[in-house]
Structure 1
Amino acid sequence: MDTSQNTALMRALTELPGPLPARGVIHIAIRHTDRFTVVGNDLAQHPGLSTAAVGLAVRIQSLPQGTEVGIKALAARFPEGEKLIAAALRELEAHGYLQRARTRLPNGRIVTRTVFCNQPAALLRPRVAAARPQRPTAEPQTSPPVRDPAPEPPAPEAAAPQAPPLPDAQQEQAPEAPAPQDHAPFVALVPPPTAARQPSPPLPQPRELTAELDRAATALLSDLRRHAHQLVLSENDVRQLAPAVAAWLERDTHPDAIRHTLTIDLPQPLRHPAKLLKHRLTALIPPPLPSTHELAAHARPRVPITPFQTCDGCERAFRAPAPGHCRDCRNAHGHAQAAA
């Protein structure tokens, strides 16, 4: 079978100027008019990046501002798996094309911002501010110098005459007024808080704060700074948070599980440790463990099993609710009665 050829592609090859190379790639460059992205050769031919990293960088560069470019978001959009995308992102981050930083928004929420730069090497060069365009000089070099007129006494404000029209020579030399520039109105990304803030929920309280629970909760809170140096609490903070930790312990939560919940994935920097612990103790408290009676009520009902019996005639084992004869013996006994 002959290799199929694209007629349009072959016709475009004949329109290329100059002799075509005997081997290697031949480019047919068609100018884009819409929906295109400019990619530099420093990225497309980067010697230290893999093909997957270069392709992912081009994909990210073509996405609009504000598009999620996390590992799971890219895996849901593209056919590559999460492991390949994560490795490619690490390559781009190592070579300066990608930077991920955690930022606190004005509303207090902490988000991860991803910044992509198409030329990271250009950021290291000193950037010079672009010079403003100078207005045309009042006097061209070819024209003779124009003498300033003699100063006149200022006229009173009440009868301020209009300026006389300039001569033709001076009208040509007068600088033009800058055209008003249309600037887009400033739109605040975060609207000002207009609605009243909802009061924060109260800390969980145990049904009975015994001395043993209070000692265990106080010891757990005081020991947190050994596991996370940011969680340095005052004595007043420990007294306020101890009932909430006691409520967790009362619900049969292991102290290691409480410590892991309070110390994992801390924001950087952590400015208010007590407020963070108060939020986690309130929002992440587990429900009480169900009792054995509640678990038995929802247990799967058992299927009754018919026991084995021994046949009185042939001593064969068969399943039946009561002792007797098996089916074969019952059939034989029935045929004997019918023949009699």
Structure 2
Amino acid sequence: MPKAIGVPAPISNTPSDQAFSTRHRPCPPVSERGRSVRRATAPISLFSKIAHRWSRDRQLSWKARGVLTWLNSHAPGFRVSEKTIVCAAPDGRDATRAAIRELESHGYLVRERERGRDGRLGGVNYILCEPWAPPPDPEET
């Protein structure tokens, strides 16, 4: 059978991606009628870089991937709270909280509560992590 023109190569092209993708159920092969992803124009400003593993991890729901992408789109030091995330999302409070918990349970997000010098609880730091990397050192965050 001739090779179909325009059928994209499998997503897992590198050994590390192949190792990562083996824990997921395989996707069905793309049919000869499959279409490829196209972009009209590439963004030249106001864009974010995100690891393919983050956006393609099939253990995460689309909602959790959206929250992860939104958090990643801000510069380090951006002041964020659960309320900020809820207000930025089209979903309700409970759905957004569930997505945040999902990111925590899969190791993409660590929330650390600060304590003031007087021992009172303070704000919460949102730390984005790579679940396959060692946990962050609190001294460096």
* Conserved? CA contact 2:60–2:102, under 8 Å: yes
Structure 1 match to 2:87: 76
Shift of 1:27: 2.2
Would the aligned equivalents of 2:114 and 2:125 in 1 still touch at CA under 8 Å? yes
Normalised by the length of structure 2, the TM-score is: 0.62
Give unpaired runs (5+ residues) of structure 2. 8-32, 136-141
The structure whose residues are more often helix, as a share, is: 1
Matched to 1:39, the amino acid is I
Please give the TM-score of this superposition, normalised by the length of structure 1: 0.28
Deviation of 1:25 (Å): 3.2
2:78 is matched with 66
Q: Using the TM superposition, give the Cα deviation of residue 79 of structure 1 relative to its aligned residue in structure 2, in angstroms.
A: 1.6
Report if aligned partners of 2:89, 2:96 keep a CA contact under 8 Å in 1.
no
Contact 1:96–1:120 (CA under 8 A) maintained in structure 2: yes
Q: Secondary structure of 1:114's partner? A: strand
| Structure 1 partner of 2:139 | none
Instruction: Show CA shifts across 1:119-151 (max 9, x none).
Output: 231336xxxxxxxxxxxxxxxxxxxxxxxxxxx
Cα deviation, 1:91-139, whole Å, max 9, x if unaligned, reads 100011111122213465422222122x231336xxxxxxxxxxxxxxx
The match for 2:121 among 93, 110, 114 is: 110
Go from structure 1 to structure 2 and tell me whether the alpha carbon gap of 1:33 and 1:123 turns closer, same or farther (over 3 Å shift): farther
- Hey, which bits of structure 1, 4+ residues long, moved more than 4 A? none
Q: Which residue of 2 aligns with 1:197?
A: none
Q: Aligned equivalents of 1:26 and 1:116: distance in 2? A: 28
Counterpart residue number, 2:61: 50
Q: What 5-or-longer segments of structure 1 have no aligned partner?
A: 1-18, 125-340
- Structure 2: how far apart are the matches of 1:110 and 1:29? 48
Alignment of 1:1-340 (within 5 A): 20-21=6-7, 22-28=33-39, 30-64=41-75, 65-70=77-82, 72-106=83-117, 108-111=119-122, 112-117=124-129, 119-123=130-134
Cα deviation 1:146-179 (Å, max 9, x = unaligned): xxxxxxxxxxxxxxxxxxxxxxxxxxxxxxxxxx
1:267 — aligned with what?
none
Quote how far apart the aligned CAs of 1:69 are.
Answer: 3.1
Q: State, as a whole percentage, how many aligned pairs show the same letter.
A: 27
Matched with 1:139 is: none
Letter in 2 for 1:114: Y
Q: Describe the SS at the equivalent of 1:122.
A: coil
Number of aligned residue pairs: give it: 104
Structure exhibiting the larger radius of gyration computed from Cα positions: 1
- Partner of 2:127, secondary structure, is strand
The answer to whether the Cα contact below 8 Å between 1:20 and 1:26 also exists between their aligned partners in 2 is no
Pair 1:76–1:108, CA change in 2 (3 A):
same
How far, CA to CA, are the matches of 2:116 and 2:43 in structure 1? 38
Counterpart CA distance in 2 for 1:89 and 1:56 is 7
